[in-house]
Each structure stands twice: as C-alpha cells, then as structure tokens.
A and B are shown apart, each in its own frame.
Chain A
Amino acid sequence: MQMILFKLNQQYYLISAASVEEVIDTVEITPVPLAPSWVKGLINLRGAVMTVVAFSDLINMPAPKENKNILIMKKDDQRKGLLIEEVIEILNVDSSKIVLNSDSKKKNPDYYSGVVSFPDKVANVIDINKIIF
C-alpha cells in the first residue's frame, strides 16, 4: 500500500496515504487561546477554517526546530491538519513488511502499528486518525 514517509527529530514515521487528503507547505497558523496544547491553531485552507494539531505533541516528543509540512488528514467528512517536520517521500510498502513486536504490544500506544525496516533506516508505522478524530 502507498504510505507517506516523514521524519521528526531524526526518527522516521510511515502513515497510510489513504488517510491523507493532501500535503501542503506550512502556512500561517492562528493560535487559539485556551485550546489543548496539542492544538496548534487554525489555518485557512482555500477558504475553509481547519484545526491543526501538532504531531510531536500527540506522541509526546519534543517539538522539532522547524515544521515544514502539514498533512491534511481526512476521516469521513472531517478534516484536520497534522503539523509535521518534513515529508521525505511517498512509497509503496508491502503490508507483510510491517512487523509488530508482539512482546512490546502492551506498552505500545494504540496508534502504533509496527515498524518497517529499510536498508538505511527503520520507520514507525502509525495510524494517527485513531487519536485525532
């Protein structure tokens, strides 16, 4: 299946391309006072107001120096922006290559669905829609 590979603080993540509507460059984000910390604010996507959440906050990681991209995530009629450091590439991943270490299953958060190893790196496969919608 098609997956989007992106990085955060030297770590790599894979997300199913089916759950992403589009990838945009980061635009101006209007903060919302009093909102939960993982809600970065609102963006104007071609006339629609959309909430943007920060990937780093969702997985309890320190925020990267720079956020270059926003993934527009979709679920049914809902849309949300996911702020990430940078998209690397879009690639085809054979689902049999996704390995879930069953020992560690218990302590893994439910958005984590395994790892895929590449010759030069290892990427975490995540299903972020489970926690943002």
Chain B
Amino acid sequence: MDDNSAYRELFFEESEDNLQKLNDNVLELEKEPDNKDLINEIFRAAHTLKGSSATMGYDVMTKLTHRMEDIFDLFKTDKLKVNGDHISLIFKCLDKLTELLNDLQDDKELSEDQISELITELNKVETSATGKAVEDTPTESSQEAKKPQVKLDTVFASLEEPDLDVVKQAKSSGHNVFAIAIRLDQGTLLKGPRVFLIMQKLDEEGDVVHTEPTADLLENGNFDTDFKLIFVTNSSLDEVKSIINSSSEIDQVIIEDFDGEKAMKAQEERKKNPPTPQKAPAKPKAAASAKSVAKKAKSGAPKHETAHHPRNQSIRVDLGRLDRFLNLVSELVVYRNQMEDSSHRNDLDGIKDSLEQVSRLTSELQDLVLRIRMQQVSLVFSRFPRMIRDLSRDLHKEMDLVIIGEDTELDKTVVTELGEPLIHLLRNSADHGIEDPETREKLGKPRKGTITLSAYQEGNQVIITLEDDGKGIDPQVIKKSAEEKGINTEGMSEDELRLLIFHPGFSTAKKITNISGRGVGLDAVKTKITGLGGSIEMRSQVNVGSKFIIKLPLTLSIIQALMVKIGNENFAIPLDVVEKVVMLDESEIISTAENEVYRYQGGIIPIIRTNELLKIKSTAEDKKFAIIVKSDQQYFGILADQLIGQKEIVIKKIDPVLQKINRYQGATIFNNGSIALILDVNALCQGKGKVKS
C-alpha cells in the first residue's frame, strides 16, 4: 500500500467527490425513480469509485461498492423498484463507505466485519429481486483464474456496462471488436513479460479495452495460463490471429467477434453455473490478510485512536485564477527590475513610475489571493438535502429543503467552520420548527413543511438565512422555560424573550430528542458565528415560522474600517457595523437618570463616551462626531473627536493579555507605520448595556 502513497491524497479527494455525487444523485433518484439518465450517472460514479478503490487495493471498499452497484443494476434493468427502503439502504452503504474512507485516511486497516451486515442486507434485497441466492463474494479475484483443465472459451467474468459502452461506440464508428482468449504453454516461465509482449504487439494494431485478469495481475504474471481480452482494432480477424501467433509459448488462441449483449448473458450464465467447482485462488487474499494481521500486530501498540488525523487541507483553484496570478507576478518582477535599474541610475522619476505600477499590482494580487481562498458555500450546503431527507424519515414529518444561492463565495476557513452551526440550526428547524403533517393540516398549512436556506452577498458581508414555516418561537413558552431555569425575565419584551434562546444552557424542547436539544443549543451556534466575526439574529412569529439571519464577513483578515481619533489616539471601527456618522454638539447630548442619550431618527439612542470608557483624555472641544452603530438590533452612538476617513485595513492579532480587556478586535498598521487599535464595537455597546442594568 505504501507505494500508492503518492496517489492516496488524490484517491481520497476523488472518492469524496464521487460519494458526494452519489449522495446527490440518489437523493434525486428517490424523487424521480424512473429517470434512467440519473441511474446511469449513479452507475458511472459508483463504477469509478469501485475502480479507484480496487486500484488502491482497498478490497473491503471495493467489495461494498461492487455489491451496491449490483443493486443499481437491478434498478436499471427494472428488476427492482426504487423505493424509500432501498434508498435508505443505499444511503447506509454510502455512509459506510464514507466511514471506511475516513478509516483509511487515519491509516486504519479495514476488515470485512465492517461491511458484513450491509452485505447481508444487500443480499436480501438482491435475492428478493432476482429470486436467486447471490454468490457470497462475486469479486473479480475469485473468478479470475480458471483451472487449466477447463475448456478455453471467451466468456468473460467481470465485464461491466462502461466497457460495453466503449465497445458499442467503437463498433458504431466502424472498428472491429474481438474477444480473444489466450492460453499460454504450461511451462511458460516469464508469464508477465510474455503477456506484456503480446499486449505491446496488439497495442500497435488497436486498443485493448478489457482484460481478465486485470492488466496489473497479468503483467506481474499473477495468473494461471489463461487470459482474455477485448480488442478494438481496424485489422481483420486473421491479421489479429497472426499477430498473436507470432509470439512463442502460446498453447491455444480463440478469437471471436465480440457481441456485448451475448457476452453479458454468458457472463450471467457463468456466474450461476461455474464451469468446474472452483477452488478459489485464495492466494492473493490470504497473503493480503496475512499482511494485514502482521500490520495489525505492529500497530497494536499505539492503540485505537478515535480522533481523526488532521487532514491535509487542500483547495481547488480555478486554473484561470492561477494563470492570472502568474501573470501578475511576472509583471511584478518586470517592474521590480525597472525599479532596480532606475535606482542605479538615480532616476527618481523612473522609480516613481515603477512604484506606481508595483502598488497597482500588489493591490491586484491581494485581491486575487483573497479570491483564491474563496469557496462556494455549496461545499457545506450540499450535504443538507440528504440530512433533511433522513430527518424527515426519522421524525415522521414531511419537509422540503430549498437552497438558494449556493454559489455564493466565502473565505475557505469560514465555509468549513460554517457546517456545524448550520447543521444545528437545520436540526432545530426540523425538530422543533416544522410540525407533524396532521397539525399542519389543522392549521391550514400544506402538509409538507418548507425550510429555506439562502446565501447572498451584500457589500462586504455574506448573509445566510434559514427560514422555516413551522410553529415559530412562542415568547411565552420561552418565558416559562427560562423562569423554570431561574433566569430572570422580568420586564422583558417579546423580542428580548426570544433572544433568550441564545442564552447558555437554554433548550426549549420539552422532550429531549436525539435530533436536537442536548442543552447546548443555540448559544453554541452563536459563539461559533461570533468567533468567525459574524453575527446572528432571529425573527419569529408564532405559527408562521422562524428565520435566522447570519451575517458573515467576506474575509477574515482584511476589512473596511472607519478611522477615528479619540483624544490623540487613532482607532479603527469596522465599517460593517457603522450605520451613519453625525456631527453633534455637546449640548445635543441629553443626560437621563441612568445614561446619556441622543435623539436619532425620532427615537433616542444611548451615547457611548469612548474616551471615558477607555480612560483617554479627550480634547476639550464641544464639536464631536457620533458614529451610529448597530449592535444586537439596537443603535448606539459612539463618540469620537475627529474623523480620519475610510480605509481598508489588515487585521493583526493582538496579545492574549490585551484580548482580555475585551475592547479591541485587534490592531492594524497604517501606511506610515504607526499602529491603531480596532475597537470591538459589540463589546463596547454590550459592556455599556451591562453597566446600565
């Protein structure tokens, strides 16, 4: 397996893709059981998966995929009707394959036990469809080598649909297709090289599309004396015969015109009645299992690790973007050389000119690098339809998931981190939001509930909304539940009550199900989203539904900010929270008993004296600027002495000691090298709120 290591990563990536594709397509299939194109597509994906796992030598995976493929074949040939149970079984297989894949990634040995249960289930389905018992392990290896005493024929054992497709195409474009069976002399010493020579000769005249045993085994000489192949060529039968016969050490050759359908039938036949009681050539398998035992013994010491190894994170980049990257860099090199040249000649104007180009190029590069890191949200969204399908079966509810804007792009880190909180919210919606069909009918809603997940970009933010048309969140239920838990709800408005669902340790489900409601509910979601620099809001109406709105920054490290001066210090305020900036006079600030407020848009909003909060000496001027920001759906006015302007800034992390102050998001460096702190607006405003209460 070690020599395959170079392909392992590739294999994992490809297989994950194929599994995802299978998942998606099977989900579709449940809705359109008669869509033959879809079945064909599923077949292709499964076939690739099987092929690549066989190439990598992962027998267990190959076996399971093979059996799954058999089921698809039954669907295809209408021997089996697609129904919910079958689909569920297929999904179980897909999950198992994902599990196997994870195990492989963690360098665990796979064992047949892992799949035996599923194989039994698959067998049951297959038997019920065909009325015949299925061979236990119709894997290729058990059928490869026929005993020499068996009459040589051209019946293939492992022909598959895609091979036949190739043959059909070749025939239709006027090529000859032959089935060839060759028996080497009993005493042939170097079987591998002999086969290689024959193959080479054939390759000069046409294409070998299928061999039995597989090409690898043949070239290693890992077979008895017989091998079979399908050959596409322009030469005639006699020509082919003479080519093969020109090789020595050949005992017998059969060449026939190849007919796909007949061959398939013969193959079926052969499966049912093997020509002679086969002594399965258990050699390769036994060797493999011996090896695996040895390996197990070796790996016995470090024990079973349940935690997954951190995966090599990789990202797929559009080639166009990479090319553009290369172009920009080469341009940059050109201008750097120019600049060096001008510098040698003390040509100040020359330096200025090239510097201008360099600065244009760097900002383009910056932009591009960010875009290379961007990933479509479909990366996480794609597994949700399957999840909702499973949930609706488990919960006996009917629901649909509508996904909008899955091509919206976000920074890679954000996309990968987003999965968990979204799963949480979706489960909540499915479990607590959507009612069962009967209740829905009574309420005059369609039996089927709808959950809408949408993503779109708005300025420097990506907004993800999750909406369901379920029962909504009843503030009174929250209130009761909160009071039971000892949370003081006195004087809270309905909105404030609803916000309690984000309270740590709050779970509204009266019944705790395994779908959701383990006590660590939405507060975990909120923490995660805030950790990503985003925010989450919720709107809900009883019996109409709930809507969660998640706002996320497009990228994590570069933001637009408003630069201000408080006292003599510079500060940055992230622009995404800024609603408006107003100039005001000290006299316009009204003192109330508990805080200071300012009239804004017909209401009054709390004023935050940043200089006092941060203990900075403010300039004594009466003219001030109030930066109106929105935090937790409420406006606040943050006072600043001077406005510097809007800037794109790079966020630099600050020391944990300084993070603890809980007033700053980070720091940034100005063009002139000086440093400004980035204010954490939410902490400032909420901190103020705490002082108030």
Contact = CB atoms under 8 A, between A and B. Distances in A.
Contacts of A42: 654, 667, 675, 677
25 contacts: A30-B569, A30-B675, A30-B676, A30-B677, A32-B661, A32-B664, A33-B569, A34-B614, A34-B661, A34-B663, A35-B657, A35-B658, A35-B661, A36-B657, A39-B655, A39-B657, A42-B675, A43-B675, A44-B674, A48-B652, A49-B654, A49-B667, A49-B675, A51-B655, A51-B657
B569 to A, nearest CB: 7
A34 B615 CA distance: 7
User: Which secondary structure characterizes the binding site on chain B?
Assistant: mixed
B614 A51 contact: no
Given A32-B677, A35-B658, A51-B658, A44 B569 contact: no
A19 B569 CA distance: 32
Nearest to A38: B657
A43 B675 CA distance: 7
A48 B667 CA distance: 10
A33 B663 CA distance: 9
Of B569, B666, B673, B675, most A-chain CB atoms within 10 Å: B675
Interface of B: 569, 614-616, 652-655, 657-658, 661, 663-664, 666-669, 673-677
Given A33-B616, A49-B652, 16 more contacts: A28-B673, A30-B676, A30-B677, A31-B569, A32-B661, A35-B657, A39-B657, A39-B658, A42-B677, A44-B674, A44-B675, A48-B652, A49-B667, A49-B669, A51-B657, A80-B655
Nearest to B663: A34
A31 B653 CA distance: 16
Contacts of A36: 657
Interface string A71-111: 00000000010000000000000000000000000000000
A41 to B, nearest CB: 8
A119 interface: no
Contacts of B569: 30-31, 33
Interface in A26-77: 28, 30-36, 39, 42-44, 47-49, 51
A42 B615 CA distance: 17
B638 to A, nearest CB: 14
A44 B616 CA distance: 22
Of A30, A36, A47, most B-chain CB atoms within 10 Å: A30
B686 to A, nearest CB: 16
Of A32, A36, A43, A80, most B-chain CB atoms within 10 Å: A32
A121 B675 CA distance: 40
Of B653, B655, B657, most A-chain CB atoms within 10 Å: B655
Contact of B674 (A28, A34, A48): A28
Nearest to A132: B657
Contacts of A43: 675
Nearest 7 Cβ contacts at the A-B interface: A33-B614, A51-B655, A30-B675, A49-B652, A49-B667, A42-B675, A34-B661
A51 B675 contact: no
Contacts of A30: 569, 667, 674-677
Contacts of A31: 569
A83 B614 CA distance: 23
Contacts of A35: 657-658, 661
Contacts of B616: 33
A61 B306 CA distance: 52
